[in-house]
Every structure is written in C-alpha cells, then in structure tokens.
C-alpha cells in the first residue's frame, strides 16, 4: 500500500483488513472496527485508506493494541506508548497499512459500540465491527463524508427493517 509522492493512497484490500484483525485477535485485543471498513461490512461500499479501530481504553488493552499493530510490515506502532493512546482521542499508525486507533468515534465509545457489535469470521479470523445504529451515531459529525455515510446508513437500516 506504499504510495509515491503526489499519488493518492491505495484503497484497503480485504487481505489488509484481515491481517490487522488477525494480529488483534492473536493479542486478545478488545476493539470494534468503525468507519469506512465497518460501513462496507454492512454493504455500504466506499473507498477507504485506513482501518478505524475503536478500542477498550484500559492500559492492558492499549498495550495489546500496540503489540498487535507493531507486527504490521513497517513496525510503526513500536514507537507508541500506552500514554500516547491514553492522551489522544485518535492516534494514526502510519504503517504500510494505515490504522487509526481511537477511544471515541464522535460520541460513540467502545463500551457502547461493543454492546451490539457484530462479528463475522473470514479465513479463521473474527472481525468485530460496529452495528448500523452505532455507525450512524459515529457518523453524526460536521464532516461532509460522514454526513453522506450517515444518510446512506440510515437508508440501509430502513431497507433492512422492511425485509
């Protein structure tokens, strides 16, 4: 996923998402995927260049997150400390695979997101992702892309309720 100067980042592949989740699973990290990847899990396919993680904020879990992401190809997360993750709402891990580690996604936190999170297993990897309701809440921001996502997620929810 390396990018030449002046080029746009390459969209994430399914293999990259699986790698991130496999590492998190191996380290028993507590997380929920949010953002564009989670939208895709619900059928709202759009390009995204990073994996957005909403994480349980205990020091032990934050260390597991760092340990897992440190195994990504460039090892960029090795430079992080638990304190870095505690003091910032979002930390971008700029590895070959970009990962945003967050304690909150707008007004949504891990404790709320995990309550009705969904999971799918692909190639032996459990992928935990936010429910439609949690995603809709996380997309209630001032950003234009979030507004668009929110409208489409609400439409998806309405369609599912009609089935």
Whole-structure pTM value: 0.90
Give me the helices (H) in 10-80, please. Answer: 14-26, 35-41, 59-69
C-alpha 123/C-alpha 129 separation (Å) is: 16
- List the chain pLDDT tens, one digit each, 163 residues: 333 334 445 677 889 999 999 999 999 999 999 999 999 999 998 888 899 999 999 999 999 999 999 999 999 999 999 999 999 999 999 999 999 999 999 999 999 999 999 999 999 999 999 999 999 999 999 999 999 999 999 999 999 899 8
Distance CA(153)–CA(19), nearest Å, equals 26
Domain boundaries, the chain: 14-154
What CATH code would you report for 14-154?
Answer: 3.30.460.40
Cα 9 to chain centroid distance, Å, stands at 17
């Amino acid at each position: 996923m390396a990018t030449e100067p002046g080029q746009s980042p390459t969209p994430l592949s399914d293999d990259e998402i699986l790698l991130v989740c496999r590492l998190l699973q191996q380290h028993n990290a507590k997380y929920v995927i949010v953002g564009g990847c989670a939208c895709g899990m619900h059928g709202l396919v759009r390009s995204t260049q990073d994996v957005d993680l909403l994480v349980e904020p205990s020091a032990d879990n934050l260390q597991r997150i760092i340990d897992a992401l440190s195994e990504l190809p460039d090892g960029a997360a090795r430079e992080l400390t638990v304190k870095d993750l505690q003091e910032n709402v979002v930390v971008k891990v700029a590895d070959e695979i970009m990962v945003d580690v967050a304690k909150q996604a707008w007004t949504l936190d891990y404790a709320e997101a995990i309550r009705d999170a969904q999971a799918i297993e692909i190639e032996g990897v459990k992928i935990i992702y936010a429910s439609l309701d949690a995603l809709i809440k996380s997309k209630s921001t001032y950003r234009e892309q979030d507004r668009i996502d929110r409208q489409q997620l609400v439409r998806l929810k309405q369609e599912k309720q009609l089935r």
